[in-house]
Amino acid sequence: MPVLKSETRIKQIDTTSPETDASEYASGDVVYDQTDGLVHHNGSSFEGIQAKFLGMHIEKGIVETLRQNGLATQGGEAYMCDKSQVCHHKPDGGDVSAGNWQMNLYNFSLPINSATCITVIAEQSGNAYRPDTLYISPNSSSPTQQTLVWAGGTAPTPTPNGIDVFSFTIYRLSLDTYTVLGQMVSFGG
């Protein structure tokens, strides 16, 4: 019987390769499989990490990277979701945008039967604007337009000289379908 390894760090492996298959690891080991993402060893094979950590308890909160953007362009602002899903617009003088803007979510990854949230913080000037269309791309090109459903059934009115936080809850129930629910919370003004 081979000696079982107990990994204390997460490393990328190919769980189908004989050199790194399930027989080489101990129950509870967590590894990153190049096809299946994070998986854990259940005693005989690898399975998705979600099966192991349902009901996970977080004691100290979650900290996300805040991506700084300046002016949002009407032709399409690029949001690189592999870098951050929280974006902050604070232009140097002037307005956040010349008008309502298009959000392009690039490198957006969301498995079927999953949900996530994208947050955009906009420090508005006297002329306040909002995202009005949203596109999604799983890579860095060819985004497809999504239907944006606003809370209350109508697009919000941004707050002149305030800070507006736009939240987009996105969920996916099938291969080609995303549902995008948008809302805005106004601070000051």
Residue of 9 and 76 predicted with greater confidence: 76
Average pLDDT over residues 6-25: 63
| Helix/strand/coil percent split, the chain, to 5 | 5, 40, 50
Which of 128, 14, 34, 139 lies closest to 25 in space, CA to CA? Answer: 14
Do 93 and 39 share a domain, yes or no?
no
**pLDDT single digits (tens) 85-134:** 999 987 666 667 788 888 999 999 998 999 999 999 999 988 899 999 99
Q: What domain count does the chain have?
A: 2
**Where does 49-183 have alpha helices with state H?**
49-52
Residue of 116 and 74 predicted with greater confidence: 116
pLDDT of residue 12: 61
The yes-or-no verdict on residue 10 having pLDDT over 50 is yes
Do 124 and 86 share a domain, yes or no?
yes
Q: Is 61 inside any structural domain?
A: no
pLDDT of residue 105: 92
Do 92 and 47 share a domain, yes or no?
no
Do 27 and 99 share a domain, yes or no?
no
**pLDDT single digits (tens) 103-117:** 999 999 998 999 999
- pTM exceeding the 0.75 threshold for the entire prediction: no
Q: Which domain holds residue 42?
A: 12-52
The yes-or-no verdict on residue 151 having pLDDT over 90 is yes
Do 182 and 89 share a domain, yes or no?
yes
Do 88 and 28 share a domain, yes or no?
no
